[in-house]
């Protein structure tokens, strides 16, 4: 349990709704998963999308359209909320500036 808590984001989260595209790292010529960020922090993103849960530990590329930035990320968790909503937590491999004053 302690190890799982150490993986949780501790920095401030900003509610930031933006389209994003998620594709598996190293896999070419596939259609990216389209999602909407729910909250974003310097080192992580909570994403909502329609589809099957993503596999924790999978390395992906995420492109946040409103920030015009792409980052490598790791799927930390993913779960189905209901028929039309699946959520995933992504840990960014490189920090992203999401706050106007940072």
CB burial class (10 A; 0-12, 13-18, 19+) of residue 73?
buried
pLDDT tens for the chain, residues 1 to 102: 444 555 665 677 778 799 999 999 988 878 999 999 999 998 999 999 999 999 999 999 999 998 888 999 999 999 999 988 999 999 999 998 765 444
d(CA 50, CA 64): 17
Two tokens at 86? 């699946």
User: What is residue 7's predicted lDDT score, i.e. its pLDDT?
Assistant: 61
Domains in the chain: ranges and CATH: 2-92 (2.40.10.220)
**Structural contact between residues 61 and 23, judged by C-beta atoms closer than 8 angstroms:** yes
């Amino acid at each position: 349990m302690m190890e799982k808590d150490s993986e949780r984001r501790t920095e401030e989260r900003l509610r930031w709704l933006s389209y994003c595209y998620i594709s598996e790292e190293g896999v070419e010529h596939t259609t990216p998963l389209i999602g909407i960020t729910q909250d974003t922090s310097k080192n992580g993103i909570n994403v909502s999308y329609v589809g099957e849960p993503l596999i924790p530990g999978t390395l992906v590329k995420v492109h946040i359209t409103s920030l015009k930035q792409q980052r490598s990320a790791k799927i930390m968790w993913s779960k189905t909320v209901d028929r039309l909503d699946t959520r995933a937590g992504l840990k960014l491999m490189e920090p992203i500036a999401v706050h106007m004053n940072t």
